[in-house]
Amino acid sequence: MKKLVFLFLFLLSLLFFLNNNNKAPFRPLDLLPFLPPAISLPLLQSLHSAVDLLPSFVGSVASAENKLQWKGACFSQNQAWLEFHNQSQTKFGGGTLHIKVNKAHSWTCMDLYVFATPYQITWDYYFISREHTLNFKQWVNQKEYEFVKHNGVSIFLMQSGMLGTLKAMWDVFPLFSNSGWGESSNLAFLKKHMGATFEDRPEPWVSELNPDDIHSGDFLAISKIKGRWGGFETLEKWVTGAYAGHTAVCLKDSDGKLWVGESGHENEEGEDIIVVMPWEEWWQFEQTQDDSDPHIALLPLHPDMRKKFNETAAWEYAKSMSGYPYGYHNMIFSWIDTLSDNYPPPLDAHVVASVMTMWSHIQPAYAANMWNEALNKRLNTTGLDLPDVIVESERRGISFEKLLTIPEKDDWVYSDGKSTSCVVFILEMYKVAGLFDPIASSMQATEFTIKDAYSLNFFENNMTRLPDWCNKNDSVKMPYCQILGKYRMELPDYNTMQPYPHMNEKCASLPPDYLRDDYC
């Protein structure tokens, strides 16, 4: 999941330079950027094919010596170079990007650019012929510093009609601004956009739990609220309507020892993979090393479900998946089910395509991995890159929006194995363990979000059967056991939905209510 953080850094930072005194002809289309996004974007889309709307990669600059030159949409003579500096007096210093734009075709036109490294993204637009500068105060870490030295800062020319969309993303900005990786901006965003409450709960904030009371199949709902993970989860929650951003599952072995299965555990190389690890190790890590201020709730299976749960089959599945990479391929597809009812504004399919395009230039290896294979599978093609996918899809009369809504199939195998995100890993386990019987064959686990998972009516519904250490000292009684965190975790619609065939394959979900149709 971590690499996706950087995708969403797309929403980072904005600077304004307004000026305007160039003598050249007037073109009505140049006014697009000044219309409200709700008008400019549809207009833009009707004037161009989807491929023309994608950001175009202009090049990258890594030094002051090798100047990059290109022709823009508005300015026909442009130049950029990068100067490293250490104004911030930090370990890796920062850099200034110089951009000289010249020869505008009209006095109302502008060029809109996005500048990106894998770690930060910013954007700017230019009206006037002169030299502009863009300051990267400091490189985030050694990796970014090395990346920029070798590969440079990537520059993308955007359709100027995208201006409104980029501006609207300003709202999401504090989640990622460096000083605001803090908890308070995440909480404020979730309160404002989802109506979350985050009430304080009494101590103990770490349960003195007894692992003997935890059983195979029990679900761990995790919510991270600080740091990069926190920022990413906040966006994911907002988009999907889930009140948790990560999940794991408990498993007991034949000796009664407790283990945790988790897709998206960071290994020593910094890769996110699927692991099955001893409970003690996992619990220790969450309490002492996870700097995202994780909040964790244990959702015990209902006793009838526990009886149904085939431990042997679950273990076989977990072992077969252990060590595989986290499911980047399909995670985005689990929330895009309907053409327009899954994108909170200002997001839309076009923004998704733009992010994918930019990502494929900044980190080509990841991009192929993350989207291209999944999109090819939807078209029954192999090896097409993103623009080709869009062209092929339009040729068949399928819009890109429509392509994104085609459901993922659980039996699709990617070049690096089956793709399972944190919650898909658990639901597939539930599937092989028999919890979805007798309709398991008509369920696609990859269509479930975290919210869909904890909404299933698989969990304990009798509070007197919860262990005695559960929510100890809290006067507000919750139907699950929060075991970590100072704010009370809320999971609206917890334990309410009976599974049905093709569940969640066509569901709308839009903030702030995330209302879904019955049997979607």
Ligand X SMILES: *[C@@H]1O[C@H](CO)[C@@H](O)[C@H](O)[C@H]1NC(C)=O
Q: Does 441 bind ligand X (CB under 6 A)?
A: no
Compose the 248-277 pattern: x for residues touching ligand X by CB under 6 A, - for all others: ------------------------------
93 is an interface residue for ligand X by CB under 6 A: yes
Q: Are 33 and 163 in contact (CB under 8 A)?
A: yes
Per-residue H/E/C for 259-285:
EEEEEEEECCCCCEEEEEEEHHHHHHH
Of the candidate residues 129, 310, 338, 399, the single one contacting ligand X (CB under 6 A): 310
Size of the site for ligand X (CB under 6 A): 17
Closest to ligand X by CB, 3 or 295: 295
CB of 518 to ligand X, least distance (A): 26
**Residue 92 near ligand X by CB under 6 A:** yes
Length of the chain: 520
Q: Smallest gap, in angstroms, from Cβ of residue 209 to ligand X?
A: 14
Cα of 63 vs its chain's centroid, Å: 32
**Closer residue to ligand X (CB): 88 or 129:** 88
CA angle 458, 461, 466 (to 5 degrees): 110
CB of 462 to ligand X, least distance (A): 4
Write the DSSP symbol of residue 258. E
**Interface mask toward ligand X for 198-237; x: CB under 6 A:** ----xxx---------------------------------
Check residue 141 for interaction with ligand X (CB under 6 A): no
340 CB neighbour count, 10 Å cutoff: 11
Q: Which among 90-98, 408-416, 489-497, 498-506 is the span making contact with ligand X, rule CB under 6 A?
A: 90-98
Identity of the residue, 148 or 220, whose beta carbon is nearer to ligand X in the bound complex: 148
User: Minimum distance from CB of 461 to ligand X (Å)?
Assistant: 8
Does the footprint of ligand X cover residue 464 (CB under 6 A)?
yes
The least distance separating ligand X from the CB of residue 297, rounded to whole angstroms, comes to 18
Question: Does residue 495 touch ligand X according to CB under 6 A?
Answer: no
Quote the tokens at residue 384: 């097409």
**Tokens coding 417:** 């194995």
- Reported for 315-319, long-range contacts at CB under 8 A and 24+ positions apart, including other chains, are 315/251, 315/253, 316/432, 317/428, 317/429, 317/432, 317/433, 318/251, 318/261, 318/276, 318/429, 319/276
Query: Binder to ligand X among 76, 86, 284, 340 (CB under 6 A)?
Result: 86
In degrees and rounded to multiples of 5, residue 193 shows phi and psi of -95, -20
Q: What 8-state DSSP symbol labels residue 169?
A: G
Closest-CA residue to 82 (of 32, 39, 139): 139
Residue among 14, 168, 313, 510 that touches ligand X (CB under 6 A)? 313
320 binds ligand X (CB under 6 A): no
The amino acid present at 406, given as its one-letter code, is I
- By CB under 6 A, what part of segment 334-393 binds ligand X? 380
91 lies in the binding site for ligand X (CB under 6 A): yes
Contact 207, 470 (CB under 8 A): yes
CA distances to 8, 103, 519 from 481, rounded to whole Å, are 32, 65, 29
Task: Give yes or no for a contact between 175 and 235, defined as CB atoms under 8 angstroms apart.
Answer: yes
Q: Which of 20, 21, 46, 89 binds ligand X (CB under 6 A)?
A: 89
Distance between CA atoms of residues 6 and 176, nearest Å: 10
The footprint of ligand X on residues 468-487 (CB under 6 A) is 473
- Contacts with ligand X by CB under 6 A lie at 86, 89, 91-93, 202-204, 310, 312-313, 316, 380, 462, 464-465, 473
